[in-house]
Structure 1
Amino acid sequence: MTEQYWIGGFFIDVSRNQITQNKQSQTLAPKALAVLTCLAEHQGKVVSQEALLAKVWPNTVVSPNTLQRSIAQLRKALGDDGKVQTYIKTHAKQGYSLECDVRWHDKLNETESVNMESDGDVDANEVSTNNVSAINVAAMDGPQDDNSEATSNAANLNAISTHDEHKEQANDLATKPAVLTSKLPKSSVGLVSIAVVIVILGVIGYGYLAFDSPSAHTPSVLTFDRLRSLTATDDKEFDASYSPDGQYIVFHRYLGKQCINRVWAKDVTTQEEILLTKEWGAYSSHSFSKDGKQLVFLATEACREPVTQKSCYDLVSLDFEKSLKSPQKTNLMLQCQNSTVRDPTWLNNNHIALLQKKSQRWKLISYSISDNSSTVLYDLKPGNLLGFSYSSKEDLIAVTGVHGDGQHYLDMLKPDGHLVSSHVLDRPQEIPPFRPIYPSFDPLNKQLLFSTGRQLFTLSYQGKIAKISQPFADRMAVPKFHPEGKSILFIKGPYDSDVVLLSLNQLADKNASAQKQSSQSPSEYVYPSFQRSTQGEDYAIFQPDGDLIAFLSERTGDEQLWISGSDGQGTQKITDFPVDTYIRGMDWAADGNSLLVNANNVLTQVFLDSSQQTIPVKYPVIRLFQWDSIHNTALLIVSVKGVLKFVEYDLAKAEMKELADNKRVIWALRSEDGRLIYKDHLNQLWQPGPAEDQRIEALNQEATKAKTFVINDNVIYAINTDNQLWSYDLNTDTFNILGDVGEDVDDLTDINKTQLLMSIRVSAKKEVVELVVSE
């Protein structure tokens, strides 16, 4: 493929992924430029979508939306207008054509070629982190537990790289000798040049020393060759990692729709799969001992007498060598009944590092196997930890967290807790200010890597973030490097859910029919989808006193807000949030003319004409439960220096009132008459009393357990774990089972006098894929 060419007044340099005009350069996705080059090669002719997809994404299944996004990027870079279409023209149901003259680099004379390179040239360091091909990987996210997002918080400021400062000094000096020598006698030129060279070498040498230190490394470039599936089955696989010798990948395979799994290994060479655990369990992500002989992970089970939490955590080990010969039972190492722990990681000193949470705050602890004791490695007061990663090769721990100033930091530690460096995360505009970051170590380049869903980024040890790819076609998550850095494991696979609109009479009829036909259970009924795509649709809610239904959908590749008529017609997208946006809560205004949406931890009022207005909130918003547009208040979970608070926030006065006596609140709503009802992490429902909050005893039985609930006319409705729809009248204290629903129903999202809205799970396939790093 030709590396350089002109389109009108634009110089295209494919080798640098750049489009330049009047010495102003833009860096584009390699795939977008490949589309442009293909159109240029057929200048003036219509190229079909199929031909473009086959040319640019060979042997890869991608949707036409991927091509359309590339066309949109090109038009924006060329200053084109999608309506006028000066450069790239759309031919309905046919394809695209390039309508501007093309001049190829190899057809120009040498002088013109030199001029073009000068016009298109920028510092290679500015584009070095963007030269990666977009790779088609599939979506991964399904509904997440609110607690897992609890510490997604805080704003940031830009941090300045010490190594970059040295680099800039060296560049400045490198341009000065010509200026100096032009003003000196010829006899002095040699001495000045030698002196300058010595200074340059000294600065460069100092730069290399700084580069080698953990606090001053800048991101290295990663490029990829191909993506391949490793566990392409009908099951769900999570938590994949390589063994220390790289011979095996180890992953967890789940049982159907349940949360229990077994641990498996797969020989990278022979592709043989080996069952490692003898028993099913709720096992967490695992970690290898340094010698590769042992695995450690958590086994979670319901606490027999839940006092502070409903789940207890056992730290267990597994003999990996024996398990490769036959499945083994796990060995109990440590029990945690009154604190939450996660991310057990085996350190080189044979201790195990874990994050432990008590009273809403996480700290990093080190568990000594030999002494059966633990010590605190790192604790932020004030502040909170988000996550950590460990490099066995460098014997370093990278911790991300929210400090007392409310900003996100990267802290580098030694395994004894010694703080090596601490830097504010320097985020590019692609990453929202409050998004939590969970990086993994790159074993070759002294840097970290993380994914936000469809984008990959490197993270230097001093907190500097650089994008290494344009948005992927689909989502990926949880990157784990090969020990030698030659490939990366990801989890991919879409969470496909639909919206169901069902009348209460239809629900009653289905249950009556099931009672007459004993061979058929209501749980076996297939509900017709009100909104359906191959991606996730969720959280549908009725417009107050109107015929519209608002819902979330990922059908365009990103989570966006959509509206539809109650007949399913007139469906349209009313938001255009950026790539990898995550929405955690929305609610209608009382007049039905707008909605309040919590997107990327920021409240945004979205009107039906797609116009938007940001609502300032002093703290990152973790969850929006309800919006009272008449009094302009909202029930929120906010993060204050990394600690979660359940509050009622006055949006006009920017004031908040803490609620629920510092309980860990999972869901909350106010009834029509103003009563606050909330659910805590132990599945207990509460309402305020005359002196203190009181449990609703009728709703604290096993049969009433539910993730969320809705309130209509002072009646609470929810679907419990036995797939039953129930109601509780707050005025009469009356509890009723209204009927059974299908086993594929995830949740009840809204109800009115005659109809209900539910989310149903279509599929939740997950698999392990491997992204091969270019040499």
Structure 2
Amino acid sequence: MAKQYWLGDFYVDLSRNQITQNTKVQTLAPKALAVLTCLAESHGQVVSQDRLLSQVWPDTVVSPNTLQRSIAQLRKALGDDGKGQSFIKTHAKQGYSLECEVKWQDHTSNSHNKNELPNQEGLKTGEKSTKASAVRTVFVVVAILVFGLWGFSYQKPQPSAGLTFDALHLLTATDDKEFDPTYSPDGQYIVFHRYLGTLCKDRIWAKHIDSQQEIQLTKDWGSYGSHDFSPDGKKLVFFATQACDAPVTQKDCYDLVTLDFEQALHSPQQPNIILQCKQSKVVKPKWISDDHIVMFQKQSERWKLIKYSISDNLSTDLYNPTEGGLIDFAFSPQKHLFAVTRIHSDNQQYIEMLDLDGKLLSSHTIKRPPEVLEHRRIRPNFDPMNDQLIFSTGRQMFTLSYQGEVTKINLPFDDRMIQPVFHPDGDRLLLIKGPYDSDIVKLPLNELQNQNPPSETYESFERSTLGEDYAIFQPGGSLMAFWSERSGEQQLWISDGNTLTMLTDFPTDSFIRGIDWAADGQSLLVNANGVLNKIDLDGKRTIFPMPYAVWQLFQWDSENNTALLEVFDKGVSQYLEYDLNHSTSKSIADTAIKWAAKTADGRLIYKDKLDRFWQPGAVEPEKILDLDHQGDRANSFVIKGHVIYAINSQHQLWSYDLNTRLFTVLGQVREEVDYLTDVSESHVLLGVRMSAKKEVVELTVGK
């Protein structure tokens, strides 16, 4: 079959997945062009849907909606609005026909210059010289050798044109928080999660794009994970998390549930449980066929891709590499491909392409430009119209090729946006926009003890409309250190209550996870962008080189220059006490933990993922039984001397003396308090949630 042909004045080049008219070049999905070619081979005749599906998607179960999306993409590329149907005509209940003249280009003819299009009568057929034939022969031999040495059967896609965006539209301008937006397969609805108060209770909603009508889909409040549509667009699948009565290895159960989307559009529905998971964490289901769902499963701090059969009620490993760790995955129903971001044993992030059976098609290091910080975890989604992916780092968006090339997208705005998801037609995409507004509250301890219930409002310390966190008192001084986004990026700040000073100048889309003072109060250790930075009060910065990314700084012992850390090494979390002078480390726990700190006399205390407190024992760690059910409020806790301070799920601030085993409730805090960050002899510092407005927006791809 010829690889190039003409449809009127449109030149179709299958070798490049392109349609060209004059100088306008459009790159289309290979499957869409395969549909066009199938119609072109029988132009003027009706080709049934069954024939198109079997010819373009052989040995694959797909729905008619998939074919309809390809037809819509073709009509858009050909400038056919679907009403006049001057190119592709729909025959009700029969199929489609191509209603224009087709001129095939002889594949034995000379190739045209890549900057020129051949005329519609074909290439010049003048006499071919022996020299030209010899050159072509050599070229063919070299090409065969190159492809013979290529290790994969997967054909490398052609580079795609860069993306531009020209318009931004608000879709859910409410006071609520929306997350996980997607389009329905037919592109008529957006579906999203709307949260109540904190990010633990939500309902799933739909919104009709044309009428703007919002529809509640789930009947009750729940804790629902990200959703995905069935291939026919009639059902949703997602995880519903519930508290277990007697957890074995985790605190939550994960029920895989489905929801009848068509029925829910008329009245809210109760999800139907199809699978219960109690021994591992399972997230992000993707419906790849009528009977199969692929999802992430976590066991022993390592993720793998599994495929679940609904009819057999059986799961099998789809992709479970023995080295490194998986970060995220995306699935393209148009291309029948998985894209996986993964950390290898060299601690570099890779982009890997898999087929439907989990076979590795390609693996390439992600080549980061300076704007993408070294330890940023990349979570891309597919661009349905081009052989590339897209991801966001917050204020910036990038395309990612299948070969790991990263290109920055020039955006007409400077807002933080996450979770980019394309419309099936590829002409627009959804994102989540909006800041998380948290404040720092400094309260006298006696005020907490004397107020039950707590006061109706808290006065913020250094109020802003963006995020503040990790506030800690200066040892022996009057300063307080914290991070703030008030400058547009997370930076380290200090304040004495009157003067506010920014100590750092970290780059765009920086993230800070952990701050601690030196014992003398003259410097701080900051975990910024996965790197430990010592920051002096005069702004001098010292970086501690490490062989892996730091995920969380728990505590810094400046006198011995050691730090308690969670690190991400070869794709797996480890919990270490790290010697910053000698670059050596030792494990502090053989299980996953949320927080760790040492007492003044060096005893290690940590809280595990089940919110249980542990301390060293003679042979193995011992659980602190007095603190059962007291660690449910937040990840962190504070140790002063030999006393633990934290907030529980009843919003009570408590203390526990490890020497006397005395447990004391110090007072009640408001529900919007996220957690305790520090304690002094007279005051406490609290992280308080002011607002967490998130809304769904839509970006239009530029023409």
| Bucket of the pairwise TM-score, normalised by the shorter protein | 0.7 to 0.9
Is the CA contact 1:301–1:312 (under 8 Å) kept in the aligned structure 2?
yes
Amino acid at match of 2:689: R
CA deviation map 1:205-236 (0-9, x unaligned)? 999999x9653443421111210110111111
Change (3 A) 1:220 1:350: farther
Is the CA contact 1:474–1:557 (under 8 Å) kept in the aligned structure 2?
no
- Map 1:333-482 onto structure 2 (within 5 A): 333-348=274-289, 350-469=291-410, 472-482=413-423
Is the CA contact 1:537–1:552 (under 8 Å) kept in the aligned structure 2?
yes
Change (3 A) 1:471 1:306: farther
Q: 2:560 aligns to what?
A: 631
Is the CA contact 1:242–1:250 (under 8 Å) kept in the aligned structure 2?
yes
Q: Say whether 1:570 aligns with 2:499.
A: yes
- Map 1:106-505 onto structure 2 (within 5 A): 215-257=156-198, 259-348=200-289, 350-469=291-410, 472-505=413-446
Q: 2:474 aligns to what?
A: 543
Q: How many residues are paired up?
A: 576
Amino acid at match of 1:381: T
Change (3 A) 1:205 1:762: farther
Is the CA contact 1:508–1:739 (under 8 Å) kept in the aligned structure 2?
yes
Is the CA contact 1:218–1:464 (under 8 Å) kept in the aligned structure 2?
no
Amino acid at match of 1:617: M
Q: Say whether 1:771 aligns with 2:702.
A: no
Q: 1:681 aligns with which of 606, 609, 615?
A: 609
Amino acid at match of 1:762: M
Is the CA contact 1:239–1:286 (under 8 Å) kept in the aligned structure 2?
yes
More helix by share: 1
CA distance in 1, matches of 2:682, 2:396: 43
CA deviation map 1:16-50 (0-9, x unaligned)? xxxxxxxxxxxxxxxxxxxxxxxxxxxxxxxxxxx
Change (3 A) 1:703 1:619: closer
Q: 1:617 aligns to what?
A: 546
Q: 2:529 aligns to what?
A: 600
Change (3 A) 1:191 1:214: closer
SS of 1:420's partner is: strand
Q: 1:733 aligns with which of 646, 661, 669?
A: 661
Change (3 A) 1:471 1:405: farther
CA distance in 2, matches of 1:624, 1:297: 33
Change (3 A) 1:306 1:405: same
Q: Which runs of 5+ in 1 are unaligned?
A: 1-169, 175-189, 515-520
Deviation at residue 258 of structure 1 after TM alignment: 5.6
SS of 2:461's partner is: coil
Amino acid at match of 2:398: F
SS of 2:449's partner is: helix
CA distance in 2, matches of 1:690, 1:398: 47
Deviation at residue 195 of structure 1 after TM alignment: 8.6
Q: Say whether 1:713 aligns with 2:650.
A: no
Q: Say whether 1:644 aligns with 2:585.
A: no
CA distance in 1, matches of 2:346, 2:290: 33
Q: 2:512 aligns to what?
A: 583
CA distance in 2, matches of 1:485, 1:618: 40
Q: Say whether 1:761 aligns with 2:692.
A: no
Q: 2:45 aligns to what?
A: none
Deviation at residue 501 of structure 1 after TM alignment: 1.2
CA deviation map 1:102-128 (0-9, x unaligned)? xxxxxxxxxxxxxxxxxxxxxxxxxxx
CA distance in 1, matches of 2:509, 2:141: 44
CA deviation map 1:717-748 (0-9, x unaligned)? 11112111100011111000011112221111
SS of 1:663's partner is: coil
Deviation at residue 618 of structure 1 after TM alignment: 2.1
CA distance in 2, matches of 1:418, 1:207: 22
Deviation at residue 708 of structure 1 after TM alignment: 1.5
CA RMSD of aligned residues (A): 2.6
Q: 2:61 aligns to what?
A: none
CA distance in 1, matches of 2:290, 2:388: 22
- Please report the TM-score for the alignment, with normalisation by the length of structure 1: 0.71
Deviation at residue 472 of structure 1 after TM alignment: 4.5
Change (3 A) 1:472 1:587: farther
Q: 1:557 aligns to what?
A: 488
CA distance in 2, matches of 1:706, 1:604: 25
Amino acid at match of 1:313: Y
CA distance in 2, matches of 1:540, 1:214: 52
Change (3 A) 1:533 1:583: same
CA distance in 1, matches of 2:185, 2:667: 52
Change (3 A) 1:214 1:761: farther
More strand by share: 2
Amino acid at match of 1:634: A
CA deviation map 1:485-541 (0-9, x unaligned)? 0111001111101111112123234x1xx4xxxxxx31x421111121010011100
CA distance in 1, matches of 2:391, 2:632: 39
Is the CA contact 2:489–2:510 (under 8 Å) kept in the aligned structure 1?
yes
Change (3 A) 1:195 1:330: same
CA distance in 2, matches of 1:207, 1:741: 68
Q: 2:599 aligns to what?
A: 671
Q: 2:43 aligns to what?
A: none
SS of 1:569's partner is: coil
Tell which has more relative contact order, 1 or 2 (C-alpha 8 A, sep 6+). 1
Change (3 A) 1:770 1:534: same
Q: Which runs of 5+ in 2 are unaligned?
A: 1-110, 116-128
SS of 2:231's partner is: coil
CA distance in 1, matches of 2:429, 2:549: 32
Change (3 A) 1:702 1:613: closer
Amino acid at match of 1:614: I
Deviation at residue 707 of structure 1 after TM alignment: 2.7
Give the share of equivalent positions with the same residue, in percent: 55
Is the CA contact 2:164–2:411 (under 8 Å) kept in the aligned structure 1?
no
CA deviation map 1:392-435 (0-9, x unaligned)? 00000001111223221111001111111111111111112221
Change (3 A) 1:704 1:482: closer
Amino acid at match of 1:265: A
Is the CA contact 1:353–1:366 (under 8 Å) kept in the aligned structure 2?
yes
Change (3 A) 1:355 1:282: same
Q: 2:651 aligns with which of 723, 737, 748?
A: 723
CA distance in 2, matches of 1:576, 1:203: 52
Deviation at residue 257 of structure 1 after TM alignment: 3.1
Is the CA contact 2:154–2:362 (under 8 Å) kept in the aligned structure 1?
no
- Map 1:79-118 onto structure 2 (within 5 A): none
Is the CA contact 1:294–1:317 (under 8 Å) kept in the aligned structure 2?
yes
CA distance in 2, matches of 1:581, 1:226: 26
SS of 1:490's partner is: strand
Q: 2:4 aligns to what?
A: none
